[in-house]
């Protein structure tokens, strides 16, 4: 299915219809002044991507911990240190 663009005002007016279309797999780009600002997508599409990224990150952390034995350093400490930089 092709992605449709719709103006913000019209999207607000027809939100229920747009949500129903998303449930059926359609994607809708919402524009403001003819510029794309948001995309309405089926929930399963976004959650599958997030789940896959999360599972990959967990696998990588497990592999890292197996490869490098860090005594006295928790994963939380490493995460916090990475956020500071």
Q: What is the pLDDT along the chain (85 residues), one digit of tens a residue?
A: 667 899 999 999 999 999 999 888 899 999 999 999 999 988 765 556 777 888 888 888 888 777 777 677 777 887 888 887 6
Both tokens assigned to 62: 């497990």
Name the fold adopted by 4-41: YefM-like fold (3.40.1620)
Cα–Cα dist 8/11, whole Å: 5
End-to-end CA distance of the chain: 42
In the three-class reduction of DSSP (H, G, I as helix; E, B as strand; rest coil), residue 3 is classed as coil
| pLDDT at residue 2, rounded to an integer | 66
- DSSP-assigned beta bridge partners for residue 39: 29
């Amino acid at each position: 299915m092709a992605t449709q663009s719709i103006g913000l005002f019209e999207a607000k007016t027809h939100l229920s219809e747009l949500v129903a279309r998303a449930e059926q797999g359609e994607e809708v780009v919402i524009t403001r002044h003819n510029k794309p600002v948001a995309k309405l997508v089926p929930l399963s599409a976004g959650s599958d991507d997030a789940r896959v990224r999360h599972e990959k990150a967990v696998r990588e952390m497990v592999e890292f911990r197996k490869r490098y034995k860090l005594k006295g350093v928790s994963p939380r400490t490493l995460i916090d240190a990475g956020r500071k930089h």
